[in-house]
Amino acid sequence: MNRESITLADGRALAWVAFGPVDGRPVLYCHGFPSTGLEAAFVEEAAHATGARVLAPDRPGYGRSDHAPGRTLTDWVDDAVALLDHHGIETAPVIGFSGGGPYALACAWRRPERFARVATFGSLDWLAEPGSEADMAALSQVSIRLARRFPPGQAAIFRLLAILIRIAPQTLFSLLSAGHCPADRAVFHDPHTRSRWTRALHDSVMQGAVGAITELRLYVSKRPFALHDVAVPVELWHGLDDTVVPSRHGERLVAALPECEARFLPEEGHFSTPVKAIGGALERMVAD
């Protein structure tokens, strides 16, 4: 693992972490919500096995990447392109996990010549429509509804959560994961795996709650592009027992994307799906 940063054209810092061999085939990783690029630590063994160099940037306001006031979801594609340019990379496939799924699809929609293939795991669909948050955890439902109807209330909840994450990340992670399916609980039974995800959560609030507050408001806004305009191959993975992002989000994405190969996994959850499937997905992505 190697943590670095660059200064973008507008003066912001863009930070990222890299996994896999230095001379490996590049793959961009879009982390979940709220999180940082450290989340991609679970790909490390698979990256070395497949010869993939996984670049996982922190999105604005998370970790060590500066906040970008007024940004949009599709603006972030410019940050992703700047990271590729910094490394002299012409094109790279992109992975999106959970809340990173919309960002991976935005990359393919806006710059298909740079991001010619996508894989998503437990991807969130947009949350603008009332009811799209159904079957999520109670805290998620409340936060999403407040983000739509009363943003100051959503901000207050997230600021409190940020304080709790900084003080006791392990305890809060346990509380947030209490409703996970058996497959996810089994993944986090391993202390090493659990510590990786907890560290990413902890680093997501290094700048407070600004990253998460901003991002949820983007998710509940109008979809910024049409999914049928994503003209690159998409490999979609979703656990049918996912309690974080219910599998019907994946079903909606599959129905709208023109070139999508879907894999819905019985008895797998939000976290167990990428942990178990990442090796095969990376192998296919770097083989092209």
Domains and CATH numbers, the chain: 2-287 (3.40.50.1820)
Token pair of 249 as six digits? 């989000």
CA distance 288 to 286: 6
Residue 249's pLDDT band (cuts 50, 70, 90): very high
- Please state the rounded mean pLDDT for residues 127-144: 93
Tell me the whole-structure pTM to 2 decimals: 0.97
Position 214 pLDDT exceeds 80: yes
The confidence score (pLDDT) of residue 122 equals: 98
The confidence score (pLDDT) of residue 177 equals: 75
The confidence score (pLDDT) of residue 185 equals: 92
List C-alpha distances in Å: 248 to 150, 239, 274.
26, 10, 17
The confidence score (pLDDT) of residue 142 equals: 95
The confidence score (pLDDT) of residue 36 equals: 97
Cα 87 to chain centroid distance, Å, stands at 21
Q: Which of 2, 230, 280, 251 is nearest to 106 (CA)?
A: 230
Residue 170's pLDDT band (cuts 50, 70, 90): confident
Residue 76's pLDDT band (cuts 50, 70, 90): very high
Position 173 pLDDT exceeds 90: no
SS3 state at 55: strand
Instruction: Specify whether the CB–CB gap between 166 and 224 falls below 8 A.
Output: no
Q: Write the Ramachandran bin of 61: left for phi over 0, alpha for psi from -120 to 50, otherwise beta.
A: left
What is the chain's mean pLDDT, rounded?
95
